[in-house]
Structure 1
């Protein structure tokens, strides 16, 4: 009992570095690194840590900052002072190693060649160059936390609330990468820059600026390729597939999604890519391929390895997968698939409604309601169509992305078809859809206030 109390207080750990201490605390509990990350995320209330990140702390590839140490202390039930002292030990050792590495060579005796002495000075100067950094572990960790926060907020908050901060952080990451930092911090900065470019691409997608979206996506892919980040490489292919889809290049959208599935990436990205492929194939009339890709998406979900490193727009929740399945089944067509589309869209809405507020994707809720409305329309149920459109038509137009505007416009055209014979209800719904689409497409609805 006495030893346990001393450990909780951090006694008896005087010369233990933070890496060794974290390994010891984890192994005593029989936990994996992912279990530590899960416990941490549960305490913090958001999914910001992964098992990989805990491994970095244990290897001392990164030193946990005070904010992180506070939660790690709670995870392991020890006094934070124990972690602070261990960090001091690790930093002292690292500083000592740097001093040895950076120490200039001893002057060579005058009888030796002056060229040798001058050569040693060059090495010493380079050692000092290495020591000069514009980013430390705190800067990188804060940037990663900001990216995770924005990625989660993106799906549920008005776009223009986040645009300026995404741009500011992205430009800041570019500036840091133009400077000097430790190679491992450079790698982390490239990943953060890739994600911020990915968020920028999504902003442009939602505004309907597909050329700019493609530019940001290419830069996101370049950053991911620079460090070989398989997860981001796969995710960027998904964005590129989206761009191709919304610019009418459906076969290319399917090919890009297929290309993304070649990356060995953890988390839900496999289900996302298969769902994108299914929707694109359905549009070009490949019913067999679309149904097969939907099945692949389900298998990917069931066999999902690991967790998504970043939440929100970088994850692909089951609710979103059901929303995509609904759209795909509508495109496949036929009464059976239309009924399946209605069931899938209804499930997507139910799952989103039961999620936390920050995880309720407004765009996917709009899309699922439009799909439900169209499903009822295809079954000849105008009352059901009107009921399903109530959520969309009663929402602020500025919350609607370019893709939702296109869905509303297409549904309005469909309501004007001869099969409805100019029915008053169909005419009323068509006019309301057209009015909402015009308001949502107005530049005033999506005009970011750029910093002056």
Structure 2
């Protein structure tokens, strides 16, 4: 096995932290107490066009939190290769492409150009650069509903950090307000990443920062959306009563588009889970009225919108929580309608999480209606999905379904026993995957 040179080691250490070369330089300067290190110099070390001195390696060890001896060994490997006149292997990610670039590579290259346009702006940004930042945010917001977290997490984090850095600089007042809205949306996306990973504390931290950005921008639409985000986090963290309060709080802000339907649907689901039948039913009607009152307003697809299919999914969950035969029937109808709408939508607009949730609501509805065969068909769709698409909320739903199937009334049913065994095998395997 080839020994690791200093360039490859530095790239690996930086990638593990998700840092840019400039971030490494900034941390280095903090450790050294000077401002001499630059991102370009870090790049030279990674390309091995220069080998960091012993003193430089001592501060790099502090930056990366490793023993200096590891850097010394890697530097020794590079020096021996140079002395022997051998071609120095390029670090990971530095080799020339042997095949035509992929669309993803081309998009990443275009993003680099977009970032440079922000760098050359009159101040630290301008109207065009802010607009380009918004385009990237909305692209991520649309992709979020249908792509695995692993594909988007780093992009969201890096774009959010870039917005933070721009706000720490100087720009015109109008652009400052726009940047706060953009930063708030990116914090909202970060909150969703944590929510879907089951880290509710970190999710709420991001949501609070999003709220602070909304306050700075005095943006009612962002305020309303963040209150909905906080309601969602609180709901999955086990406090449906508080979740309903947050959803009602969001409705006090005038907002356009589907926001009213979203907040009322969040309120209805939370009240249903809290056992407030009257309140849940009233909130469902409020959500329907908000949907019916919608005008032909343009709204960005993705996580910042609330399509009809998603509203039907929430309605199905709410009806199931109410529990009587009539509501179970309504839950089945709502979930089935949501699935039909999602299947007819564009792939990028098809919310994987809500599609899985609607299938699980159909499973519960069919079981409560006594149709175990239909339940098994719907459950197969969920259990056959890739583990990367099973969010923390879907896994919790599966665990709850498994507990329900363990009740006395289902004992002795081979079909139910098979369903429960299949659920437990998938949830165990997914936990290991994560």
TM-score, scaled relative to structure 2: 0.71
The alignment status of 1:352 with 2:335, answered yes or no, reads: no
The alignment status of 1:291 with 2:281, answered yes or no, reads: yes
- Specify the alignment match of 1:258 in structure 2: 248
Which of residues 389, 412, 424 is equivalent to 1:422? 412
- Specify the alignment match of 2:381 in structure 1: 391
The alignment status of 1:318 with 2:312, answered yes or no, reads: no
Question: Residue 421 of structure 1: CA displacement?
Answer: 2.0
Report how many residues are paired: 315
Which of residues 173, 193, 197 is equivalent to 1:203? 193
* C-alpha distance after superposition, 1:125-168 (max 9, x if no partner): xxxxxx96100122111100000100000001111100000000
- Specify the alignment match of 2:183 in structure 1: 193
- Specify the alignment match of 2:46 in structure 1: none
Task: Name the CA shift for 1:406/1:433 in 2 (closer, same or farther; >3 Å).
Answer: same
Which of residues 131, 135, 156 is equivalent to 1:166? 156
* C-alpha distance after superposition, 1:320-372 (max 9, x if no partner): 00000000000011011000000000000000000011000000010000000
Structure showing greater Rg: 1
- Specify the alignment match of 1:340 in structure 2: 330
- Specify the alignment match of 1:96 in structure 2: none
**Tell me, what secondary structure is at the counterpart of 1:313?**
coil
Conserved? CA contact 1:405–1:441, under 8 Å: no
* C-alpha distance after superposition, 1:93-112 (max 9, x if no partner): xxxxxxxxxxxxxxxxxxxx
Poorly superposed stretches of 4+, deviation over 4 Å = none
- Specify the alignment match of 1:245 in structure 2: 235
Question: Residue 199 of structure 1: CA displacement?
Answer: 0.2
CA distance in 1, matches of 2:211, 2:244: 18
CA distance in 2, matches of 1:262, 1:310: 22
Show structure 1 runs of 5+ residues with no match: 1-66, 68-130, 446-452
Conserved? CA contact 1:353–1:360, under 8 Å: yes
Question: Residue 437 of structure 1: CA displacement?
Answer: 1.4
Conserved? CA contact 1:266–1:305, under 8 Å: no
Task: Name the CA shift for 1:306/1:237 in 2 (closer, same or farther; >3 Å).
Answer: farther
Conserved? CA contact 1:366–1:404, under 8 Å: yes
CA distance in 2, matches of 1:440, 1:346: 26
Conserved? CA contact 1:416–1:422, under 8 Å: no
**Tell me, what secondary structure is at the counterpart of 1:322?**
helix
* C-alpha distance after superposition, 1:69-120 (max 9, x if no partner): xxxxxxxxxxxxxxxxxxxxxxxxxxxxxxxxxxxxxxxxxxxxxxxxxxxx
- Specify the alignment match of 1:365 in structure 2: 355
CA distance in 2, matches of 1:305, 1:233: 21
TM-score, scaled relative to structure 1: 0.68
Question: Residue 309 of structure 1: CA displacement?
Answer: 4.5
CA distance in 2, matches of 1:233, 1:305: 21
**Tell me, what secondary structure is at the counterpart of 2:270?**
helix
CA distance in 1, matches of 2:365, 2:287: 22
CA distance in 2, matches of 1:411, 1:367: 12
CA distance in 2, matches of 1:404, 1:201: 17
Conserved? CA contact 1:308–1:314, under 8 Å: no
Question: Residue 310 of structure 1: CA displacement?
Answer: 3.0
1:16-165 paired onto structure 2 within 5 Å: 133-165=123-155
Question: Residue 204 of structure 1: CA displacement?
Answer: 0.3
CA distance in 1, matches of 2:335, 2:296: 27
Which of residues 363, 367, 370 is equivalent to 1:377? 367
Conserved? CA contact 1:370–1:388, under 8 Å: yes
- Specify the alignment match of 1:60 in structure 2: none
Question: Residue 440 of structure 1: CA displacement?
Answer: 2.5
Task: Name the CA shift for 1:187/1:309 in 2 (closer, same or farther; >3 Å).
Answer: farther
Question: Residue 405 of structure 1: CA displacement?
Answer: 0.1
* C-alpha distance after superposition, 1:162-191 (max 9, x if no partner): 000000000000000000011111111101
Which of residues 159, 172, 180 is equivalent to 2:170? 180
Task: Name the CA shift for 1:306/1:234 in 2 (closer, same or farther; >3 Å).
Answer: farther
Show structure 2 runs of 5+ residues with no match: 1-113, 115-120
CA distance in 1, matches of 2:300, 2:183: 14
The alignment status of 1:278 with 2:268, answered yes or no, reads: yes
Question: Residue 306 of structure 1: CA displacement?
Answer: 6.2
**Tell me, what secondary structure is at the counterpart of 2:353?**
helix
CA distance in 2, matches of 1:216, 1:281: 25
